[in-house]
Amino acid sequence: MFAPKFSFEQEQQFFLDIQQSIENKSFDRLILSQYKGELTELEKITFRMIELQGQATLSCLYHHTTQDVTKNYTLTDGIEKIAELLNLSKQANLFTSNQDIQLKKNKKKAMLNRQKKQTSVLKVEQQQHNREKQRYVQQQSPFLRHLGITDEKGQIVPSMARKWKQINKFIEIFSNAYEQIDASQQELNIVDFGSGKGYLTFALYDYLQSQQKTPLITGVELRSNLVEFCQNVTDQVGFNHLDFFEGDVRSYQPEKLDVMIALHACDIATDFAIHTGIRLNASMIMCAPCCHKELRPQLHSPEVLQPMLQFGIHAGQQAEMLTDTLRALLLKAYGYETKVFEFVALEHTSKNKMILATKRKALQQPDPKVMQQIQALKTMYGIEKQSLELLLQDQMPIENIGCKC
C-alpha cells in the first residue's frame, strides 16, 4: 500500500481512511481546500469516483479563481496525487457512505473530526445515482401537514406538488453547499429574510435536525398574520429553536449569522440582505432576487446593442443580468465563492434564479481585480449607483428597501 509521510498523525490517519474507503467502495467524494501550494489561483480540489471504459477512475476537479479544470487519474496515480495535494491543503473533507471525516491543520497541530451516518434508503438511492427520486425532506414530517402540503394521510396535496418540489430542491442546494463549509459545526445561526408562510424555513429546520445539528433559525416577515401563523405551527410541531420575527432587514439585526437566506426580496431589499450576510461574515448566503428595478433607469447600453434592446423584454432581461452579475462579483470580491444558477425550472416558478455564495477567504480589503471588473461594467452601462456596493462602502442609509413580493 502506498504510504507517504505526513507532518501529523491525524493527517496520516485521514489518508488511510481515504485509501480504505476507495478499497471498500464506500468512497463518495473528497474535497481539499485552503490550498497553499505554488498554484496561486487554485482554491479547491474535488475528487470523485467514476467509471471510464469499465475501469474505476478518480476524477479530479481543480477549482481555480477563473476556471475549472478536470483531470482523470488511475486509482494508483490518483491516490498519489491526493497525498501530494493533501500535504498542501489546510482543510480536507472526506465523504463516504458510512461517515464524514474532516481534517483541519495549521503549522502546530491537526484536528480530525468524524461523524457517523445512519444507513438509510436515501443513501442507497444516492449511491445508485437515482437523484430524481431522492427526497431531502421526509413526506411524513408533521410540519408539512400543518402547512397544507400534505393531507391527513401524509399524501402530497395535488395543488402543492410544485411547492413540494421547490422545497426539496432548496434543501438539496443547501445540503451540497453546507458540505463545503464547516460541516462539523453543531449549532447553526440562520436568518431567513422574507420567510412568508415558512415553507422553506420549516423544511430547513427539519432537515438540519435530521442531520443531528442544532439549528437556531429566525424567520423574518413583515406580514403579522403570517408571523402568527408560523409561530403557532412551530409550537405545534415542537421546533424549539425556530422563531419568527415581524419586521424586515431594517428592523431585525442579528448579532451572529452563519447562513443568510433571502428568497424573493424585492429589488434592493436583496442588496440589504446580502450586505447583512457579508457584514456578519456569514459562511453561506442564499438569494433568489426579483423585481430588478434599480439599474434599469440608469442603463445607457452600448450603441451596438441598441437593435437588440429595442424590444422591451430584452431591456428588462439585460437589467436583471447586470444587477445580479454586480451582486455576484461583489460577493466574490469580499471572499465568497459565488454561483448563479437556475433554482427551480420555470414551469414551477417564474422567480427561478439563485445566487449562492460560500465563504472562502477572510479579506481585509475587497479583491482589487474583481472591483476593477465591476467598475468596467458600470462604466460600460453608465451605472452610477448600485445599492450593495454603496452599503459595503458605508455610503447608504438603511431606508426604503422594499419588501418581499
What is the percentage of the chain residues whose pLDDT exceeds 90? 47
**Residue linked to cell 490518483:** 78
With a CB cutoff of 8 Å and minimum separation 6, the contacts of 182 are 283
Give the pLDDT mean for 189-197.
Answer: 94
pLDDT of residue 349: 42
Cα–Cα dist 89/85, whole Å:
6
Task: Please say if the pLDDT value at position 404 is more than 70.
Answer: no
Cα–Cα dist 265/322, whole Å:
17
pLDDT of residue 398: 56
Q: Are 356 and 292 in contact (CB under 8 A)?
A: no
Q: Are 242 and 248 in contact (CB under 8 A)?
A: no
3-state secondary structure 156-221: ECHHHHHHHHHHHHHHHHHHHHHCCCCCCCCEEEEEEECCCCCHHHHHHHHHHHHCCCEEEEEEEE
pLDDT of residue 305: 84
Q: HSE (CB half, 13 Å, CA atoms) of 123? A: 15
Give the pLDDT mean for 80-101.
Answer: 91
Task: Please say if the pLDDT value at position 310 is more than 60.
Answer: yes
250, containing H or E segment: none
Give the pLDDT mean for 320-348.
Answer: 83
Task: Lowest mean pLDDT of 67-76, 124-133, 149-158, 310-319, name the range.
Answer: 124-133
List, edge to edge, every strand of the sheet that includes 68-74.
68-74, 55-64, 42-52, 27-35, 89-96, 99-105, 110-116
3-state secondary structure of 7: coil
pLDDT of residue 344: 61
pLDDT in tens, 372-383: 999 999 999 899
Beta strand 284-290 pairing with 27-35: unpaired
Task: Please say if the pLDDT value at position 38 is more than 80.
Answer: yes
Name which residue leads in pLDDT, 317 or 339.
339
Task: Please say if the pLDDT value at position 309 is more than 80.
Answer: no
Task: Please say if the pLDDT value at position 197 is more than 60.
Answer: yes
C-alpha to C-alpha distances, 181 to 154, 206, 231, 361, nearest whole angstrom: 34, 20, 30, 12
Residue 263, beta-bridge partner list: 288
The C-alpha angle 240, 149, 287, rounded to 5 degrees, equals 70
pTM (global) more than 0.95: no
Give the pLDDT mean for 191-212.
Answer: 93
pLDDT in tens, 245-284: 999 887 888 889 999 999 877 778 899 999 999 999 999 9
pLDDT of residue 397: 63
pLDDT of residue 308: 84
pLDDT of residue 224: 94
What is the percentage of the chain residues whose pLDDT exceeds 70? 90
For the chain, the average pLDDT equals 85
pLDDT of residue 192: 95
Domains and CATH numbers, the chain: 9-116 (no CATH), 129-392 (3.40.50.150)
pLDDT in tens, 214-241: 999 999 999 999 999 999 999 999 999 9
pLDDT in tens, 99-109: 899 999 888 88
pLDDT of residue 118: 61
Give the pLDDT mean for 128-145.
Answer: 73
Task: Please say if the pLDDT value at position 212 is more than 80.
Answer: yes
Give the pLDDT mean for 357-370.
Answer: 88
Task: Please say if the pLDDT value at position 289 is more than 90.
Answer: no
Band of residue 127 on the pLDDT scale cut at 50, 70, 90? very low
Give the pLDDT mean for 62-74.
Answer: 83
